[in-house]
Structure 1
């Protein structure tokens, strides 16, 4: 019952935020898809998940165990740290650290997690910056790239 109630409230919140996000306009085109595509995509995915939980809540009736709660809380903390370090450290370094920590959090071995983190940070930066023409912050690497 609580899952359906929470999901219904979350779905209404997603719908309201989608109406808000639809009005996002940028005074200049800094990105080929505009400022509203990303929030609308995320809200659509969250709304679809909430709708699924309203229709079939039985999948969420499992008990949460303390280790699962700790891992979930650590995941939220890593993602919060990623958001806070995105500008000062830059995309590449903050992504590398976040991917490495999330890999370890989900029982990955340190060396493969490190290799995956470095590759993901660099390749995603190249994808967004050069192929999609979306400027990303360089942070502490700015002195090395432009200087």
Structure 2
């Protein structure tokens, strides 16, 4: 599969997901911009990158994507899907630590630094969002410690 074909397909996926995200509504207002701003911003950034690859793919434009790279991208997408599925039941801190550790290993990180960075990312981002930005995040299994 060539980079331009991948970019064109990804651009179509971004357009489809933008249509889906446009309909996001929250039953109560917890954020002044609403629930659709974050996914639409991410989709805009991904679509911009896909359009750039479609227009100017660089050196990789005429080469097929290597199987090791395709495997790594697939594992990365699966890790992010697992993150989305485990976000509520495990909570933000634990699911973020697990995905940070997994992605660290996936991109050739050493186990101990990957584990430390995953745990720090989960704890520090929870503190940032929950305490500084007042964005409530699920505690999951740590909800037992709250009482």
> What's the TM-score bracket when you normalise by the shorter of the two chains?
0.7 to 0.9
How far apart in 1 are the matches of 2:16 and 2:74? 27
Larger displacement relative to structure 2 (14-23 or 39-48)? 14-23
| 1:116-131 map, 5 Å | 116-131=117-132
Q: Residue 133 of structure 1 aligns with which residue? A: 134
1:75 aligns with 2:76: yes
What TM-score, normalized to structure 1?
Answer: 0.83
- What's the C-alpha RMSD, in Å, of the aligned pairs? 2.4
Aligned-pair CA distance for 1:62? 3.1
Scaled by the length of structure 2, what TM-score is found?
A: 0.83
Partners of 1:120 and 1:6 lie apart in 2 by: 31
- 1:104-123 pair list within 5 angstroms: 104-123=105-124
Residue 77 of structure 1 deviates from its aligned partner by 1.9
Structure 2 partner of 1:85: 86
What is the CA deviation profile of residues 31-65 of structure 1, one whole-angstrom value per residue up to 9, with x for unaligned ones?
24311211210121122012102211343433333
**Unmatched runs of 5 consecutive residues or more in structure 1:** none
User: Could you tell me which residue of structure 2 aligns to residue 40 of structure 1?
Assistant: 40
> Over residues 61-86 of structure 1, what are the superposed CA-to-partner deviations in whole Å (9 max), with x where a residue is unaligned?
33333322322222222212111111
Aligned length: 146
Name structure 2 gaps, 5 residues minimum.
none
Superposition deviation, residue 138 in structure 1: 0.5
